[in-house]
């Protein structure tokens, strides 16, 4: 039973402890998420970042990433390497979907949205280390973010259910902080297999971004979605690129930029995702 459930189930908890705990929690959030403090927090955060092209040999890719916020590299992994990854990842994610996965990995089963995720998938699918331990991708992440950047999330994802819409299919940013995501298509992704979409160059500073970032700071990840008024003009300011591609296509993106998924129409989409950032 969780701490909150314990409080709710006892009368002393309901009358005394719960209100006090809520008040302390609200005050803590008021301090840490006060929008007036955001500009200073933002300045402090970005002091830790320093882009340095000398840290990578993938200089051409770095330049495109800096310019557009996103780049796709078709055929980054050859057919054989991709096939080996699929042969390990697909059964694990299908088990997760069927509810028969018995491993210890952290998982997410969102049947309503048709999204199934497994973290640290490299621990049970060693072939995926071709992506997760790729020195070139890591060097690019360090060159783009900071020499101190490391991978902080390794994940496999299955979208197998047509017509289910995920909240991530609406335009949003993943964070106001510097984040770098590399993700790999393990299945062929056409327009109907839930391609990733990115609003090119939306990672660059702009007035609408400051508003959105401050809202994210205040509300957490739910604050990273455009509201109705913003949806009426922000997406139109950018070219929306739809990233279809064969299995083995690698996509690198700065997820401070505006992006979204696409609902699956038929088939299924399997991806591997590696997030980089600076531990703070
Ligand atoms: Fe996202």
**Weakest mean pLDDT among 165-169, 240-244, 252-256:** 165-169
pLDDT at 266 over 70: yes
Q: Higher model confidence: residue 46 or residue 98?
A: 98
Q: State the distance from the centre of ligand 1 to the C-alpha of 176, rounded, in angstroms.
A: 12
Q: Please, are residues 72 and 250 in contact by the beta-carbon 8 Å criterion?
A: yes
Q: State the distance from the centre of ligand 1 to the C-alpha of 174, rounded, in angstroms.
A: 5
Give the start-to-end residue ranges of the domains of the chain.
Answer: 53-277
Residues with C-beta atoms within 5 A of ion ligand 1: 174
> How far is the C-alpha of 43 from the C-alpha of 18, rounded, in Å?
36
Q: State the distance from the centre of ligand 1 to the C-alpha of 24, rounded, in angstroms.
A: 31
Q: What H or E segment, with its residue span, contains residue 257?
A: none
Q: Please, are residues 229 and 236 in contact by the beta-carbon 8 Å criterion?
A: no
Q: Using one digit for the tens of pLDDT, what is the confidence trace for 117-158?
A: 999 999 999 999 999 999 999 999 999 999 999 999 999 999
pTM score: 0.85
Q: What is the 3-state composition of the chain as percent helix, strand, coil, each rounded to the nearest 5?
A: 45, 20, 35
Q: State the distance from the centre of ligand 1 to the C-alpha of 279, rounded, in angstroms.
A: 19
Q: State the distance from the centre of ligand 1 to the C-alpha of 236, rounded, in angstroms.
A: 19
> How far is the C-alpha of 226 from the C-alpha of 96, rounded, in Å?
31
> How far is the C-alpha of 271 from the C-alpha of 265, rounded, in Å?
16
CATH number of 53-277: 2.60.120.620
Q: State the distance from the centre of ligand 1 to the C-alpha of 259, rounded, in angstroms.
A: 6
């Amino acid at each position: 039973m969780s701490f909150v459930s314990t409080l709710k189930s006892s009368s002393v908890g309901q009358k005394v402890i719960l209100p006090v705990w809520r008040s302390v929690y609200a005050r803590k959030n008021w301090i840490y998420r006060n929008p007036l403090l955001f500009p200073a927090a933002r300045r402090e955060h970005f002091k830790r970042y320093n882009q340095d092209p000398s840290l990578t040999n993938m200089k051409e890719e770095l330049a495109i990433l800096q310019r557009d916020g996103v780049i796709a590299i078709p055929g980054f992994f050859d057919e054989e390497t991709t096939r080996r990854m699929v042969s390990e990842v697909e059964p694990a994610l299908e088990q997760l979907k069927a509810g028969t996965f018995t491993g210890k990995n952290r998982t997410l089963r969102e049947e309503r949205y048709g999204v199934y995720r497994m973290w640290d998938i490299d621990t049970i699918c060693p072939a995926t280390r071709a992506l997760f331990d790729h020195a070139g991708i890591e060097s690019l992440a360090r060159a783009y973010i900071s020499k101190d950047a490391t991978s902080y999330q390794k994940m496999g994802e299955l979208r197998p259910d047509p017509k289910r819409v995920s909240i991530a299919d609406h335009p949003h940013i993943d964070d106001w902080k510097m984040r770098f995501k590399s993700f790999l298509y393990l299945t062929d992704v056409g327009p109907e297999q839930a391609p990733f979409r990115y609003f090119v160059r939306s990672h660059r500073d702009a007035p609408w971004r400051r508003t959105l970032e401050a809202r994210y700071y205040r509300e957490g990840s739910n604050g990273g979605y455009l509201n109705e008024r913003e949806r009426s003009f922000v997406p139109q300011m950018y070219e929306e690129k739809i990233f279809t591609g064969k299995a083995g296509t690698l996509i690198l993106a700065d997820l401070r930029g505006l992006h979204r998924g696409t609902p699956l129409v038929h088939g299924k989409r399997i991806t591997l995702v590696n997030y980089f950032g600076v531990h703070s």
